[in-house]
Amino acid sequence: MLKIENIDVYYGAIHAVKNVSFEVGEGEIVALIGANGAGKSTTLKSILGMVHPDAGDVNVFGMDYAANERAIRRELGVVLGGIDFYPKKKIRVITDVTRRFYDNWDEGKYRHYLNLFAIDEEKRVDQLSSGMKV
C-alpha cells in the first residue's frame, strides 16, 4: 500500500529527514515514534505531497506519487489532528467543497460517521470538541 525509499528532505541547510525507508502493507498499522524534530511530521508530509522530498521515492497503491498525485489523492484519506481549517465555516459547507474532490465519495459512509460521532453539520468547526475536529 505504501513504500518509501531513501527519502531526504532539506529545509535550507537543515537535513530534516535523512534516508528514510519503510513499507506498509494492506491492513497494517504503523506508528512513527521519535523525539521532537526527528522528522516524523516531515516524513508524513512527504508521503502526502505537502513537502516534496529532495531525494527518494514515495509509492502509494503501487504508483509513484509524483507521477500519479491526482489519482492517488482521489483514493487517499487522511485525518490530521490539531489543525483547524476554516474555523468559522459550518461542517456542511466544508463537506460540500470536499466531496467534489472525490469521484468515489461515499455519502452513506459519511452520514454513518456523522451519526456515530454525533456531529451536527450545522455547527461551525470552532464549535466542535478537539476529538470531533479530528
The model's pLDDT over 56-81, given as tens digits with 9 standing for 90+, comes to 999 999 999 989 988 898 888 777 66
Question: According to the model, what pLDDT value does residue 56 have?
Answer: 95
Asked if residue 82 has pLDDT above 80, the reply is: no
CA distance 125 to 86: 7
Give the pLDDT band of residue 108 (cuts 50, 70, 90). Answer: very high
Q: Which of 30, 9, 29 is nearest to 19 (CA)?
A: 9
Q: From edge to edge, which strands make up the β-sheet containing 63-64?
A: 14-24, 2-11, 55-60, 63-64
- Cα 15 to the chain's mean position, in Å? 22
Neighbouring CB atoms inside 10 A of 72's CB total: 19
